[in-house]
Structures are given as C-alpha cells and as structure tokens.
Amino acid sequence: MTNGKKNKWSLRATRGFKYGNVVSGGKSSKLENAVYAILQLEQKAGLISDLKCQVHTTMRHPSGKTWKCIPDFSFTENGETVYAEAKGFETDRWLATKFIWESGLGPGKMRIYAGSYKKPFLSQVLIPYGYPGKQCPVCGSDTSSHDAHRN
C-alpha cells in the first residue's frame, strides 16, 4: 500500500482470487495444493519423477495457429511426460483448452483432479487423439495407426 490506497495485489491477498479460491501453500488454491501433496506422495513412492509446477506448453494446429496452456503440474511417469490439472471450476477457456488437448494437439496425457481440497479425486485422464492407446470412437482401433474418421 502506498499513500493509504490499496492496489489490486493487496486486495487480492485479503479477498482471494476471482472464483473465491484462497492462496494456500504457494499454490493458487487449496485444491491445487492438495493435488500437489498427492503427486509428491507418488514421487516419494517412486511412481512418478521430475515433478514440476506451472509448465508452459504450446499446442500448434497444422494451420499454424497456436494455443498456450499452463497446466498446474507436469511429471514423468513410465518414461513419458504427463500433465495434471486441479479443476474446481470449469471456465469457458478451460473447456476450449480441454477440447483442443483431446483433439490431438495436446503434448501428452493429462490427469484432471476434481472435488474439494479435503477430498480430491482423479476425475478423468485426457488422452490426445493419435496418442498410443486412444481408441477410435467409430471403429474401436488405436488412433495412433490411422486417420480414417478424423475431420
């Protein structure tokens, strides 16, 4: 505060963020902090490694357009990079990012955790189209081997 006036950052510290979340443990929300604790336990158990926070990714469409995304966490699991997101409230931007990620532009799998900070749970795993193990909804075959039904 300067000259007795409050700026947006001092107000944010007292009121919280846009959707009512409260900063906890250096993370943007209590749910994000709880998910981080889960991932740290997985890392200590040796299930994952190289846990990072707020990794910038860019999804590039074949037409040249780009979409920037900053998942809450990234880590290595079985030799591949996996991303994780704590979702308490789904915004329009998140729904668009989720659609673009699944349509094949996402750089890898993404775990989405939901629930409350007291009881977070893994709600779904996004697997991009064309990623090994993703099944085609039309014919049931692996999408990494064909582009038959893709628009």
* Reported confidence tier of residue 145, pLDDT bands at 50, 70, 90: low
* Reported confidence tier of residue 7, pLDDT bands at 50, 70, 90: very low
For 104-137, what is each residue's pLDDT tens digit?
A: 788 888 999 998 889 999 988 888 876 666 656 5
What CA–CA distance (Å, rounded) separates 80 from 71?
Answer: 16
Question: Are the beta carbons of 144 and 130 closer than 8 angstroms?
Answer: yes
DSSP for the chain, please give it. -BTTB--HHHHHHHH--TTS---BTTBSSHHHHHHHHHHHHHHHTTS-EEEEES--EEEE-TTS-EEEE--SEEEEETTEEEEEEE-SS--HHHHHHHHHIIIIISSS-EEEEEEETTEEEEEEEE--TTSTTPBPTTT-SBGGG--TT--
**Ranges of each domain in the chain:** 20-145
Give the number of C-alpha atoms closer than 13 A to the C-alpha of residue 51, restricted to the C-beta side: 16
Secondary-structure class of domain 20-145 per CATH: alpha beta
What CA–CA distance (Å, rounded) separates 123 from 121?
Answer: 6
Question: What's at 125, amino acid-wise?
Answer: V
For 79-106, what is each residue's pLDDT tens digit?
A: 889 999 998 878 888 888 888 888 878 8
For 21-78, what is each residue's pLDDT tens digit?
A: 544 455 567 888 899 999 999 999 999 999 999 888 888 777 778 888 889 999 999 8
